[in-house]
Amino acid sequence: MEDILFIYPKLPANIEDGEPLNLMSMAAYLRRQGISVRIHDETAPLNSFEADVRNARYVGITTTTCTYPRVLELKQRIKEINPAAIVMAGGVHATTTPEKTLSDGFDIVVKNEGEKAITRIVRENLCEGIIEEEDVTAEEMYPPARDLINMDYYAATKQRCPYPPALDYVGWKMRLAMSITSRGCPYACIFCHNVWRKSKVRLAPIEYVMTELIELKERYRVDALMFMDDHLFQNRQRSKELFSQMIAAKLGFVWGGTVRVDALDDDVLELARASGCKRLAIGAESGSDEILKRLNKRATVAQNYSAIEKCHRHGIKVLSSVTIGNPGETLDDIKATMRFLLDSKTDYGSVCILVPYPGTELWKQCERDGKIPENPDFSKFHYLKAPIQVSEHIPPAELENIKRRMLIRFYLQPRIIPSMMMKLAHNPKNMFNKIREYF
């Protein structure tokens, strides 16, 4: 019998999946404390749900806002299959709504980071309440326990989801893995989880990151990486050291990551490119400085333009992510955002409808303004729809149309069409189905 079974719930339809980095990271820590762990991943299970649940003392489900409705169904099934199991919820949604989550019928809710809380729960045989312990230190952020999941399934992400622009740098047949080398970010954008986490920034030791990357190469035959850090160049000296070691070890990955636009200097970009960086994503958010201020982005439209130019100078493509439906936003602001997407020569554009997540400053503002309904439909809290009207001027249905029109306009630019044609040629039927599903 395992001490703890983690469950990674299935995502709502049309949301691209990815390996559960958080559960694998916790598992790596817990194993070092002598606690046995298994992961049941509903998307790519290695075992039947019943068998896994029957053999666990504690069952811990990870929650995000859009998976929460599914999490409640799973909790019910676990109670039926193994009434003796102690069922706990943790993760971002449970952390921001702990009392409500407990009252939904969980035995335990863990707030914030799970590693030390679970260690205490298992050692002291705790069976109820809201538990919170200290965050791990950088030296305790061990490489994720990937042996607990079906890595072959996730390595084939590019084959399963060939078209997302975020994966354009990954060859059709390449095996892909995600990695996250840090926790926290010192900035405080009003829509971001880092505002409620209030945790210190921690950067995993380069030695751990290299151990992880070598394992990905040698054991899992991975060719492409997606760094999931909120801001990969947070400490440029450390980034340079990491990229230098990747070059020296001749790992040969192609990779993409996300960075802030004010952290791009020539040295770091040069080493990034030499170590295999093909694409950087930036949170450009808007073409209006007024909106960027309202989002507390602490970056300007001019910096967004210049970041793209710098990346291009180093042969790195850029994915600019913008949000629409921002507080105070008008149609003129959205036009400015469209202009940015076209004029900046960004290689890819992603248009998201701004979603207020519980716990964020944006959520609090929306609550104060009476914009949050009593029982929100959390299954719609992803970036594809507008579950809450944040902008005072533009209703959600119109935002969804605007988003569609922006993407069509962006991807039908003459400079982008050749790459769209290549995707079409790769598998025409699949591509048409994908477009139909989306529109």
For binding to ligand B12 (CB under 6 A), which residues are involved? 11, 15, 17-18, 20-22, 25-26, 60-62, 64-67, 88, 90-93, 95, 110, 113-115, 117-118, 178, 180, 183, 192-193, 228, 230, 357, 382-383
> Of the two residues 118 and 319, which places its CB atom closer to ligand B12 in the complex?
118
CB of 17 to ligand B12, least distance (A): 5
> Of the two residues 305 and 381, which places its CB atom closer to ligand B12 in the complex?
381
Residue type, 78: I
CB of 127 to ligand B12, least distance (A): 14
- Asked if 232 contacts 180 with a C-beta cutoff of 8 angstroms, the reply is no
- Tokens at 337, concatenated: 């955002």
CB of 77 to ligand B12, least distance (A): 16
Strand partners, 317: 279
CB of 292 to ligand B12, least distance (A): 17
Expressed in percent and rounded to 5, the helix, strand and coil fractions of the chain are 45, 15, 40
Distance CA 255, CA 352 (A): 23
Helices H, strands E: what count in the chain? 19, 14
CB of 115 to ligand B12, least distance (A): 5
Place of tokens 């333009």: 305
CB of 41 to ligand B12, least distance (A): 10
- Asked if 81 contacts 54 with a C-beta cutoff of 8 angstroms, the reply is yes
Distance CA 264, CA 426 (A): 34
> Of the two residues 341 and 362, which places its CB atom closer to ligand B12 in the complex?
362
DSSP letters spanning 141-165? -PPP-GGGS-HHHHHTHHHHS---G
Strand partners, 353: 324
> Of the two residues 37 and 277, which places its CB atom closer to ligand B12 in the complex?
37
- Asked if 170 contacts 319 with a C-beta cutoff of 8 angstroms, the reply is no
CB of 138 to ligand B12, least distance (A): 12
CB of 281 to ligand B12, least distance (A): 11
CB of 383 to ligand B12, least distance (A): 4
> Of the two residues 61 and 284, which places its CB atom closer to ligand B12 in the complex?
61
CB of 65 to ligand B12, least distance (A): 3
> Of the two residues 65 and 344, which places its CB atom closer to ligand B12 in the complex?
65
Torsion, Cα 421 423 426 427, to 10 degrees, reads -100
> Of the two residues 64 and 304, which places its CB atom closer to ligand B12 in the complex?
64
Residue 38 has phi, psi (to 5 degrees) of: -135, 155
Q: Count the Cβ atoms, other than its own, within 10 Å of residue 313.
A: 12
> Of the two residues 95 and 326, which places its CB atom closer to ligand B12 in the complex?
95
> Of the two residues 243 and 381, which places its CB atom closer to ligand B12 in the complex?
381
> Of the two residues 66 and 311, which places its CB atom closer to ligand B12 in the complex?
66
Beta strands at 182-183 and 202-203: parallel, antiparallel or unpaired = antiparallel
Q: Determine the residue with CB nearest ligand B12.
A: 90
Strand partners, 285: 322
Element housing 5 (H / E): strand 2-8
Distances from the Cα of 364 to the Cαs of 213, 322, 358, 361, 394, in angstroms? 39, 22, 8, 5, 20
> Of the two residues 65 and 304, which places its CB atom closer to ligand B12 in the complex?
65
DSSP letters spanning 265-291? -HHHHHHHHHTTEEEEEEEEE-S-HHH
- Tokens at 220, concatenated: 């899992």
CB of 302 to ligand B12, least distance (A): 25
